[in-house]
Amino acid sequence: MPAAIPPSEARLVVTGAGGQLGAELLRRAPAALGYTRAELDITDADAVRAVLAAGDTVLNCAANTAVDRAESEPDAAFAVNATGAAILAAACAEVGANLIQVSTDYVFPGTGDTPYETDAPTGPTGVYGRSKLEGERAVLDLAPTARVVRTAWVYRGVGADFVATMRRLEAEREIVDVVDDQRGSPTYVVDLAAALLELAARPDTPRVLHATNTGAATWFEVARAVFEEIGADPRRVRPTNSAAFPRPARRPAYSVLSDRAWTAAGLTPLRHWRAALHESLAGCHATRPVDAIPSGRTDFA
């Protein structure tokens, strides 16, 4: 169990610090208290209470993001995404800490054709989405000051995320087939981390918000953009559909999240996804090695 934090040292606390978002938050806020899964099990109520103090702001990046595995191992998904979130929320309410819960586009059914507003009807189609939605509800019910931030299609461009995978496949294959029937907003983890840190300093915002890079694209369009950015021929990426890549968990066909509530709250809008992608790949080329660091979910075809 981690050592207790004296109230006088209360500050930003990042759970799930071993993942790509948690790691980026710590890079941008080195004074934060970061806990990886090995260092803090958020399903252990005693351990959670031991690290929190009045006035802390907790950014919960801990999550079970194994979307396909969740279909056959639902208990594992709900343990972290729902029970763990509830435990964090209850502990924050008990000690007087603020909580920001990171959630997902998977809480929506994915059948829309206009960006989902924060109050749009939810309706997850798989275990992962249901577990995250249950976590959202627990957080909002148990912690009066807690907020939920939904995001989508997060990448850094290294490890095993979509952008990194496209870089690797460009070097390995002459032709790459990528689905063109799933649309969302690619979100650069650097921009998302900056947005969450801005939010952490603004306790006056609505309780549910969406934060993604603006604009929308299909995975196919993102893949072609990656090829262009690294100097490869984008025509080597061919469109296909989800039926060509059957998975245990059905992917949402439409995952675009509206930032209307975010901007209305006076928070800084995230830039367009293509500008963010350009920065993430600046200086990259086909032979550049793809570094291995913990990454987010890899639920793409």
pLDDT digits (tens, 9 = 90+) for 187-232: 999 999 999 999 999 999 999 999 999 999 999 999 999 999 999 9
**Domain boundary assignment for the chain:** 7-153+187-210
What is the rounded (10 degree) CA torsion for 22, 28, 31, 33? -10
Phi, psi of 128 (to 5 degrees): -55, -50
214 DSSP 8-state letter: B
8 A C-beta contact, residue 170 and residue 236: yes
- What is the average pLDDT value for the chain, to the nearest integer? 92
What share of the chain has pLDDT > 90, as a percent?
90
Give residue 199's pLDDT. 98
Q: Tell me what pLDDT residue 11 has.
A: 84
18 token code pair:
């071993």
In three-state secondary structure terms, 153 is: coil
List the catalytic residues. 128
Residue 285 has pLDDT above 80, yes or no: no
| C-alpha to C-alpha distance for 254 and 257, rounded to whole angstroms | 9
Assigned CATH topology for domain 7-153+187-210: Rossmann fold (3.40.50)
pLDDT band at 123 (very low <50, low <70, confident <90, very high): very high
pLDDT band at 6 (very low <50, low <70, confident <90, very high): very low
In sequence order, what are the residues at sequence separation of 6 or more whose Cβ sits closer than 8 angstroms to the Cβ of residue 231? 285, 286
Rounded to 5°, the CA angle 7-13-16 comes to: 145
